[in-house]
């Protein structure tokens, strides 16, 4: 059982100098620093300091990497109101017949029945219409042309009219972000934020891991804006989280089964991969099953993992659901001690920052899957 402090949101706070929030990624991708977390030899035991390229020595032949192949869409859209002023829409998820749930800014200027126009240089303006307020998000339901009914069909439109939805703590943006804020294996459009741990993996590194005998399988979780939002309620006992669209195929189930059968280890790349595959395991009532649909799985201290053995992840925002997830693997106090160490050693934090590898040996006993 988790400690009482683990149920308090304030227990997941840490101080970070804003200068350690990465504004640009390092090049090449795999040259980012890597804090490796090994078996605990005491609360304040340190991690090892490598680079992501060194994953080749940390992973074994027969291991399985679980990658999230979602592709970030240009979900940030500047629109002109009937009176001539500008507003911003942030597309979250499709409903039906071309209607989308959008965050809106300023929302009070967008009333049901209002017409909006999406504009882009060299393109014809496209009329949109505000249908209603959306109570769950505080945003708006917006009517797009009916041909834009899902994440894949709207991608071409957003490529022309939209912008890359970088997190607010990244203060500069240029054309390189269209490629860099995307994993090198992204293939399924729909995310409004990148699965950031995967940003560290290059084609070169994945090839070397493949040659070593490290296998790969791909799930899809379309990362929603809520993934990176700080939590609000102090008491985490009955925590509820946003839902996200997940696809876990038969091939993933087989890859995991084959890995476990040969004695390999299942290593998730990113918290989104964890949520996808553990969500499918939860839906299968203790058995990994194929699944396509929404999940709202909460992973916090006290959670017992059913599939994954280890995790490659980034350094996350204070008081976020992602920090809770990693705490469930290695314990809150140890995680915060490792974050303190990373800060002292000038690691770069958040989406474009450095990485942490939670080795299977580092996972606390109460979180490990039952074999």
Q: Check residue 43 and give its pLDDT.
A: 54
Q: Check residue 369 and give its pLDDT.
A: 76
Instruction: Tell me if 268 sits within 8 A of 312, measured CB to CB.
Output: yes
Name the region of 48 (left: φ>0; alpha: ψ -120 to 50; beta: rest).
beta
Final residue before a domain boundary, out of 161, 193, 216: 161
Structural domain includes residue 175: no
202 in the same domain as 190:
yes
Final residue before a domain boundary, out of 132, 161, 190: 161
199 in the same domain as 244:
yes
Structural domain includes residue 168: no
| φ and ψ of 225, to 5 deg | -60, -30
361 in the same domain as 251:
yes
The pTM of this model reads: 0.94
Q: Check residue 173 and give its pLDDT.
A: 85
Q: How far is CA 184 from CA 255, 256, 327, in A?
A: 21, 22, 28
Structure tokens at 296: 């709202």
290 in the same domain as 224:
yes
Structural domain includes residue 96: yes
84 in the same domain as 62:
no
Helix (H/G/I), strand (E/B), else coil: 220: strand
Structural domain containing residue 205 = 4-72+180-367
Q: How far apart are CA 150 and CA 189, in angstroms?
A: 10
Final residue before a domain boundary, out of 107, 131, 161: 161
Q: Check residue 2 and give its pLDDT.
A: 76
Q: What angle do CA 160, 161, 162 make, to 5 degrees?
A: 110
CATH for 22: 3.40.1780.10
Q: How many CA atoms lie within 13 A of 172 on its CB side?
A: 8
First CA to last CA distance, the chain: 19
Q: Check residue 137 and give its pLDDT.
A: 84
Pairing of strands 188-191, 244-248: unpaired
Structure tokens at 41: 């030899």
Considering its fold, how many domains does the chain have in total?
2
Pairing of strands 310-314, 355-358: antiparallel
Q: How far apart are CA 218 and CA 240, in angstroms?
A: 26
Q: What angle do CA 187, 192, 193 make, to 5 degrees?
A: 85
Other residues' Cβ atoms within 10 Å of the Cβ of residue 147:
10
The dihedral sign for the CA sequence 63, 61, 184, 316:
positive
Report the DSSP beta bridge partners of residue 230: 320
Q: How far apart are CA 7 and CA 3, in angstroms?
A: 7
185 in the same domain as 134:
no
- Which of 272, 216, 215, 225 lies closest to 246 in space, CA to CA? 272
Structural domain includes residue 167: no
Q: How far apart are CA 367 and CA 176, in angstroms?
A: 39
Condensed to tens digits (0 to 9), the pLDDT of residues 24-40 reads 999 999 999 999 999 87
Q: How far apart are CA 272 and CA 240, in angstroms?
A: 16
Structural domain includes residue 117: yes
Other residues' Cβ atoms within 10 Å of the Cβ of residue 341:
16
Structural domain includes residue 26: yes
CATH for 140: 2.40.10.240
Structural domain includes residue 243: yes
155 in the same domain as 53:
no
Q: Check residue 226 and give its pLDDT.
A: 75
302 in the same domain as 188:
yes
Q: Check residue 1 and give its pLDDT.
A: 57
94 in the same domain as 29:
no
Q: How far is CA 303 from the centre of its chain?
A: 19
146 in the same domain as 25:
no
242 in the same domain as 313:
yes
Structural domain includes residue 49: yes
Q: How many CA atoms lie within 13 A of 11 on its CB side?
A: 19
- Per-residue confidence in pLDDT tens, the chain, 371 aa: 578 999 999 999 999 999 999 999 999 999 999 999 998 776 556 799 999 999 999 999 999 999 999 999 999 999 999 989 999 999 999 999 999 999 999 999 999 999 999 999 999 999 999 999 998 888 999 999 999 999 999 999 999 999 999 999 999 888 899 999 999 999 999 999 999 999 999 999 999 999 999 999 999 999 987 776 678 899 999 999 989 999 999 999 999 999 999 999 999 999 999 999 999 999 999 999 999 999 999 999 999 999 999 999 999 999 999 999 999 999 999 999 999 999 999 999 999 999 999 999 999 999 987 76
Q: Check residue 230 and give its pLDDT.
A: 74
310 in the same domain as 201:
yes
Which segments of 181-224 does DSSP mark as H helices, in order?
Answer: 203-212
């Amino acid at each position: 059982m988790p400690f009482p402090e683990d149920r308090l949101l304030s227990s997941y706070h840490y101080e970070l100098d804003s200068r350690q929030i990465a504004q640009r990624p390092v090049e090449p991708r795999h040259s980012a620093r890597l804090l490796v977390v090994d078996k605990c030899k005491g609360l304040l035991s340190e991690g090892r300091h490598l680079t992501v390229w060194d994953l080749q020595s940390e992973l074994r032949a027969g291991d399985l990497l679980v990658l999230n192949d979602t592709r970030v869409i240009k979900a940030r859209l500047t629109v002109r109101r009937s009176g001539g002023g500008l507003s911003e829409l942030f597309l979250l998820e499709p409903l039906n017949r071309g209607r989308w749930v959008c965050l809106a800014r300023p929302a009070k200027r967008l009333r049901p029945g209002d017409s909006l126009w999406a504009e882009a240089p060299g393109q014809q303006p496209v009329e949109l219409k505000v249908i209603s307020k959306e109570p769950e998000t505080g945003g708006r339901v917006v009517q797009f042309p009916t041909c834009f009914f899902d994440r894949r069909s709207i991608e071409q439109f957003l490529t022309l009219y939209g912008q890359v939805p970088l997190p607010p703590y990244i203060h500069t943006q240029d054309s390189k972000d269209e490629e860099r804020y995307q994993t090198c294996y992204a293939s399924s459009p729909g995310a409004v934020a990148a699965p950031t741990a995967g940003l560290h993996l290059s084609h070169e590194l994945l090839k070397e891991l493949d040659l070593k005998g490290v296998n790969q399988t791909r799930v899809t979780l379309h990362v929603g804006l809520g993934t990176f939002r700080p939590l609000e309620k102090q008491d985490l006992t009955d925590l509820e989280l946003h839902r996200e669209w997940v696809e876990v195929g038969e091939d993933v189930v087989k890859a995991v089964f084959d890995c476990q059968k040969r004695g390999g280890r299942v290593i998730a790349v990113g918290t989104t991969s964890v949520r996808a595959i553990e969500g499918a395991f939860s839906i299968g009532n203790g058995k990994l099953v194929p699944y396509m649909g929404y999940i709202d799985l909460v992973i916090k201290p006290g959670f017992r993992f059913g599939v994954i053995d280890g995790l490659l992840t980034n350094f996350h925002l204070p008081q976020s659901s992602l920090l809770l997830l990693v705490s469930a693997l290695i314990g809150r106090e140890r995680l915060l001690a490792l974050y303190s160490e990373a800060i002292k050693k000038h690691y770069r934090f958040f989406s474009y920052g450095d990485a942490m590898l939670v080795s299977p040996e580092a996972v606390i006993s109460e979180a490990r899957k039952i074999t």
